[in-house]
Structure 1
Amino acid sequence: MAPRRYGKTSLLRALGARAEELGLIAVYVNFFGVVTAADIGERIELAYEQQLCGPLARWFDGVRATLRLAGPVPASIELTDARAQQPLLERLALPRRLFEKHGKRCLIAFDEFQDTLTAHARIDAVIRSEIEQHGDAASYVFAGSQVGMMRALFTSKRRAFFAQARAVDLGPLDPSEIARFVEQRFLATSKRVGTALKPLLAFSDGHPQRAMLLAHFVWEATAPRGEATEQTWGSALERVLLVEAAEELRGAWSSLQGGERRALLAIATGQPPYARSTQRQVGGSRGGGMEHAIRSLLDAGDLVEDRGSNTGYRLADPLLAHWIREGRTGR
Structure 2
Amino acid sequence: MTDMPLPRTTIGQLVYPEPPRLNFARLVSDLHAALSGCGVQDRALAWDHDDVAIIDVGGSRVALSLAEDLGRCKGAAITVTTGFGLDDRGGDTRLAQRQAVLARLIAGRIAERFPPAETIWTDSPEIATSDLFDRLNDALAQRLDAEESERTRRKTRERSNRARRLREPADVEPILARLERRLASRAAADQARREGREPPSPEADAGAGGETAPPPLRSGWLEAAEVRETLAALRADNRPSAPLRLAGHMMDATLMVVALPVGAAMMTYGLVRGGDVYRSGRMLALCGIGMVALEGLGGPGIVSTLLPSL
With the shorter chain as reference, the TM-score category is under 0.3
Instruction: Give the structure-1-normalised TM-score.
Output: 0.18
- Of Structure 1 and Structure 2, the greater strand share is in 2
Question: What is the TM-score when the length of structure 2 is the normalising length?
Answer: 0.19
- Which of structures 1 and 2 has the bigger CA Rg? 2
